[in-house]
Amino acid sequence: MNHYLVLLFQYIIIILSAIIHEYAHGWMAYREGDPTAKYAGRLTLNPLAHIDLWGTVLMPLILLFGFGFFFGYAKPVPINPNNFRNQRRGLILVSFAGVAANFLIAILIGLGLRFFPSFFFSSQFNVLTDNGIIFNPWIWIIFINIWLGLFNLIPVPPLDGSKLLFGFLAGRAGRAVEFLRGAGSWFGIIIALLVAFTFLPYLANFIFRLITGGNIGI
């Protein structure tokens, strides 16, 4: 299997996982009383509704094929917390919904791989790459969704972890909340990337082994 086809497949997994992440935000917001995402046409799994030209297409493809690593995002789902029946609870649930969706995908497929290995590791899924490495798409789906879930839990703006923190600190640590909200998005992303490349590989591998029950890693 050509190296570039492997990269393309990884790109597709990441983008689809990010789209499910954003859909989960909109779905939970709607359940909490906010129809903004629905009226904006974003309460759908249609990829076209969630694509951002730069963040979903150009930047990630340039990074993946040019430098061998990936960073990108789907278009954020519009949310209006003023519509929530309970603003604090709504903020917490909506912020966690995207992360939960990624972890749910990882857990369901990971448990399938754990208890039905003969199916998930069958020859129809295992593909030999040009450099002699076995490529199994199920492993990548699990691992990428673990990574997305963990990355979005980092408590810096604009990631979901910061919004969860806002929700838990609201009314208790006003100055800290306002400071975090005032932090620049790209500054937050740089911090998140530093944390991700330093600590997340170890934590992601641990969670992967915990779910699948094995020592398989990427």
Active site residues: 22
**Cα(77)–Cα(162) distance, integer angstroms:** 16
Q: State which amino acid sits at residue 116.
A: F
**Cα(30)–Cα(82) distance, integer angstroms:** 12
Q: In sequence order, what are the beta bridge partners of 193?
A: none
DSSP string, 78-140: P--GGGSSSHHHHHHHHHHHHHHHHHHHHHHHHHHHHH-HHHHTSTTT-EE-TTS-EE-HHHH
**Cα(126)–Cα(134) distance, integer angstroms:** 6
**Cα(107)–Cα(143) distance, integer angstroms:** 10
